[in-house]
Amino acid sequence: MTKQALPSLVKEYKILLNGRLEDSSDGERFDRKSPAHDVQVGTYPAATPEDMDSAVEAAKAAFDSGVWSEAPGTDRARALRKVAELIERDLEQLALIETLESGKPITQSRSEMEAVAELWWYAATLSQHAEGSVNTDLGSEYLGLSVREPVGVVGMITPWNFPLLIASQKLPFALAVGCTAVLKPSQLTPGTSLHLGELINEAGLPDGVVNVISGQGKIGARLTAHKKVDMVSFTGSTQVGHAVASSALADFKRVSLELGGKNPMVVMADADFEAAADAAVFGFTFNQGECCNSASRLLIHEDIADAFEQRVVELVGQVPVGDPLDPETKIGAIASEEQLARIEEMVQSGIDSGAALRCGGERLSTDVGRFYNTTVFTGVERDAEIAHEEIFGPVLSTIRFKDLDDALKLTNNSQYGLSAGIWTSDLDAGWAFARKAKVGTVWLNCWMDGFPELSFGGRKHSGIGRELGKHAIEEFTELKTVTARFGQREMWVPNS
């Protein structure tokens, strides 16, 4: 495939507010430059706090009207399938927007848009399976029902690294069970979410059921604190997640948080050497390392550590870094100057700690854009900052271990608990690791393989709640108990 050209026109986006595509109420806008090309790629409404209030009011009115919350599951399923069809229709356009705004390779963006459509297709099936339960063993006079009801208005705040994919891990699942929503994407990469708003409008969802509002962080805070928001679903950093949870707790809102990770990939001595080495490189370079599931901690059995580290360094040198519009590129641009500064700070911390810098360690020299050389540290001490803190860049720390128990100790000795993986030909060892690793997801002889049918989420400082899979609808529903008695009631007050 040939390299894709930069678009000649800058797209002007609109927010989706109560079924209308609009500018912000005061007309203010903000721009985004491509982190790979330093050219403007979009202009977006800078919504006001009053716009956010209007979005929440619209979602609340739509929910209370019952037009969506009380609709049959089959009707909601049809609407979600229509959105999925439109996402597939606009796949190339969405992929280009994602690449231009985030800096990720275009081939990856295309794969992500395919995954986005799959999420909407899968969530549509759950519209017809949001079932409660019946208890008939309470005695002959009683019938007990557990009924699932939509939680109400859900405020959704999504990050810049996988903007449409993460929005689609939330929005269609909430819609499937009858919730209404206000979606606030990151100001760095709002384009695909705003385009999704256009598709939702085209699909004919009732006014106010979905509202997509772009702007700075202050309107996100307005959303989480709003009295008429019943639940907040947030994906982002642990630090911001803590603030979101505190804000929601003040009003006893339900909260779902998908936060950071410092995810270990464990390589046992009996692992498939080449497959594990390739996965290790993929694990920390995918999406430029700007991924909560990044395998930024590589734990290697001491018997193979020297050879394995050398192979990883060799493979890293073969991974193409460059223009994300080139289909040959596998590592693109760093999303922002702030993120680049964070990477540089953490790499310096690794150097200062005495770890061996085997490759990378500096910004890639280019005429335009911001790129970082893929970086590998070996000989990392277990208590070093780069062994514990999330970096969000193409930086790998390798640590050696003695046996499976030692690997598990390293895995669990972390404030995070998002994901972990193990490479081994001993399935007994792999299962033991999977059972004892204190994380939400374990990969056995694979890494970052994901499916809409399987739940995703973290433990400890990596978050609260689960997205995806059939359990996702539990996040967006309230369980109500209904107890019915039949026949004559035994009187409490004696008959006088």
Strand pairing category for 254-258 and 463-464: antiparallel
Would you give the DSSP letter of residue 156?
Answer: E
Rounded CA separation 400/394 (Å) = 20
User: Under DSSP, is residue 262 helix (H, G, I), strand (E, B) or coil?
Assistant: coil
Strands, sheet with 29-33, edge to edge from the N-terminal-most edge strand: 11-12, 40-45, 29-33
Classify strands 254-258 and 231-235 as parallel, antiparallel or unpaired: parallel
Question: Which pair of structure tokens corresponds to residue 87?
Answer: 């996402």
Vertex 25: Cα angle to 24 and 28 (nearest 5): 50
- Which residues are 357's β-sheet partners? 377
Rounded distance, CA 181 to CA 63, Å? 9
Say how far apart CA 197 and CA 16 lie, in whole Å: 6
Residues 6+ apart with CB under 8 A from 170: 154, 156, 158, 181, 183, 233, 235, 256, 467
Q: Residues with Cβ < 8 Å from 69, sequence gap 6 or more?
A: 63, 150, 178, 179, 180
Question: From the centroid of its chain, how far is CA 29?
Answer: 26
Which residues is 219 bridged to in the sheet?
Answer: none
101, 112, 179, 292: the active-site residue = 292
SS (H, E, C) 331-363: ECCCCCHHHHHHHHHHHHHHHHCCCEEEECCCE
Distance between CA atoms of 361 and 416, rounded to whole angstroms?
Answer: 25
Spot the catalytic one: 258, 390, 467, 475: 258
Query: For tokens 């700690």, what's the residue?
Result: 353
228 touches 49 (CB < 8 A): no
Catalytic site includes residue 258: yes
**Does the annotation mark 291 as catalytic?**
no
Cβ contact 75:15 at 8 Å? no
421-438 in b/e burial notation, b at 16+ Cβ within 10 A?
bbbbeeeebbebbbeebe
As annotated, the active-site residues are 258, 292
